[in-house]
Amino acid sequence: MKAVVWHGTKDVRVEEVPDPRIEQATDAVIRVTSTNICGSDLHLYEPLGAFMKPGDVLGHESMGIVEEVGSEVGDLSVGDRVVIPFQVCCGHCWMCEHGLQSQCETTQVREQGTGATLFGYSELYGSLPGGQAQYLRVPQAQYTHVKVPDGPADDRFVYLSDVLPTAWQAVAYADPEPGGTLLVLGLGPIGDMACRIALQRGVSRVIGVDRVDARLARARERGVETIDLREVDEVGDAVRQLTSGRGADAVVDAVGMEAHGSPVAKAGHKLVGMLPDAVAKPLMTTVGIDRLAAFYSAIDAVRRGGTISLSGVYGGMTDPMPMMTLFDKQVQIRMGQANVKRWVPDILPLLTDDDPLGVDGFATHHLPIEQAPEAYRTFQAKEDGMVKVVLSPHASTA
């Protein structure tokens, strides 16, 4: 089959790889009909490359049709239309039962000390082949799926794999007060969707920050007040000006470690990207070269006693934290990979024909999988108005 394969920093290719097959009784194999590129894939494309091996198949936002099942997949059947959550989760461990599926105790990657196994997300998360491919093996398939109805096009449902639950959890963790102000840093797919969800859930004022025209414009069209990062010295000052000097009640950081704004760290990223893996990995996990620009903005812009919700992925271990400010301002911080299945029942009722979250038109690009290498490049460069890419693995062969 065809798949998007990682070969090195900024080097992904579409290649023939062996078809996946059932390996465990709890496996299913899905014929992938749509699969997205995510901001998280950009971390593997460059800064986290040290944890990838040439030949790894990328992708964690897929949906399709069940092609084959093992003998212990519960009520999942061949022919079912399913979205596959980005994390593999069993549904019966303590974590899954408590709505913490991204910490699933059956699939935790214990040799790395990390949470649940993720599709296509490096040795840090279990080296499981990803879903930017024509077929995908889904472990723990009895629970690692969301059945969706036939009828609407894939775009209606494909964001249940990641964007929707991640944005939902971002807003839920931020927990802005009714009538309050939510600041969303980053208007990529996650930040954009977090704004939509917050407005839909009745947050009266949502302010979004980015530095890309097309992304700022998209958010404004849906009623978000925007701050252009290129036009302000300090995001915190701009936010205080808009909020009677107090700051935002709650902040979602939908940027993560590839934030713009800190040239020193950029130099660190470049350096680590060029080092041999044996040297680069300890640097990434212990010394930490995170670009904390967005998180520092969040700490500055949140009001005293407010909440910061981190969806953006961070990777280092020794990042300097302004503990005095955090403590003095009485800031609450919540974070983590989204627990996809935890939020699906809240989100599904909004995926209707009137489409209140605008999922049907959310993708800016639909491309055949063969164009993935160029799409990665364009998405990283934020060119061509690209915000979200949906790849069709079978378009040219179906």
Ligand X SMILES: NC(=O)c1ccc[n+]([C@@H]2O[C@H](COP(=O)([O-])OP(=O)(O)OC[C@H]3O[C@@H](n4cnc5c(N)ncnc54)[C@H](O)[C@@H]3O)[C@@H](O)[C@H]2O)c1
Smallest gap, in angstroms, from Cβ of residue 309 to Zn ion? 17
3-state SS class at 293:
helix
Task: Check residue 311 for interaction with ligand X (CB under 6 A).
Answer: yes
DSSP 181-222: EEEEE--SHHHHHHHHHHHHTT-SEEEEEES-HHHHHHHHHT
DSSP 52-93: --TTPBP---EEEEEEEE-S--TT--TT-EEEE-SB---SSS
Which of 268, 328, 257, 332 has the alpha carbon at shortest distance from 294?
A: 257
Task: Check residue 186 for interaction with ligand X (CB under 6 A).
Answer: yes
Paired residues of 209 in beta bridges: 185, 227
Question: How far apart (Å, rounded) are the C-alpha atoms in residues 13 and 3?
Answer: 8
Q: Residue from 104, 190, 206, 375 that binds Zn ion (CB under 5 A)?
A: 104
Stretch that binds ligand X, among 15-23, 118-126, 203-211, 241-249 (CB under 6 A): 203-211
Compare residues 166 and 181 and give the one whose CB is closer to ligand X: 166
| 141 secondary structure, DSSP code | T
H or E, element range at 267: helix 263-274
Task: Check residue 266 for interaction with ligand X (CB under 6 A).
Answer: no
List the interface residues with Zn ion, window 106-125 (CB under 5 A). Answer: 106
User: From the CB of residue 266, how many other CB atoms can be counted at a distance below 10 Å?
Assistant: 16
Task: Check residue 183 for interaction with ligand X (CB under 6 A).
Answer: no
Task: Check residue 334 for interaction with ligand X (CB under 6 A).
Answer: no
| Site string (34-73) toward ligand X, x via CB under 6 A | ----xxx-xx------------------------------
Question: How far apart (Å, rounded) are the C-alpha atoms in residues 16 and 13?
Answer: 10
Smallest gap, in angstroms, from Cβ of residue 195 to ligand X? 11
Smallest gap, in angstroms, from Cβ of residue 19 to ligand X? 28
Q: Answer with the entry of Zn ion, ligand X, none that 311 interacts with (C-beta below 5 to 8 A by kind).
A: ligand X
Task: Check residue 280 for interaction with ligand X (CB under 6 A).
Answer: no
Q: Residue from 81, 137, 196, 215 that binds ligand X (CB under 6 A)?
A: 215
Smallest gap, in angstroms, from Cβ of residue 231 to Zn ion? 29
Q: Answer with the entry of Zn ion, ligand X, none that 136 interacts with (C-beta below 5 to 8 A by kind).
A: none
Question: How far apart (Å, rounded) are the C-alpha atoms in residues 291 and 259?
Answer: 6
| Largest CA-CA distance found in the chain, in angstroms, rounded | 61
Q: Residue from 141, 185, 198, 331 that binds ligand X (CB under 6 A)?
A: 185
Residues lying near Zn ion in the complex (CB under 5 A): 38, 40, 61, 89-90, 93, 96, 104, 106, 162
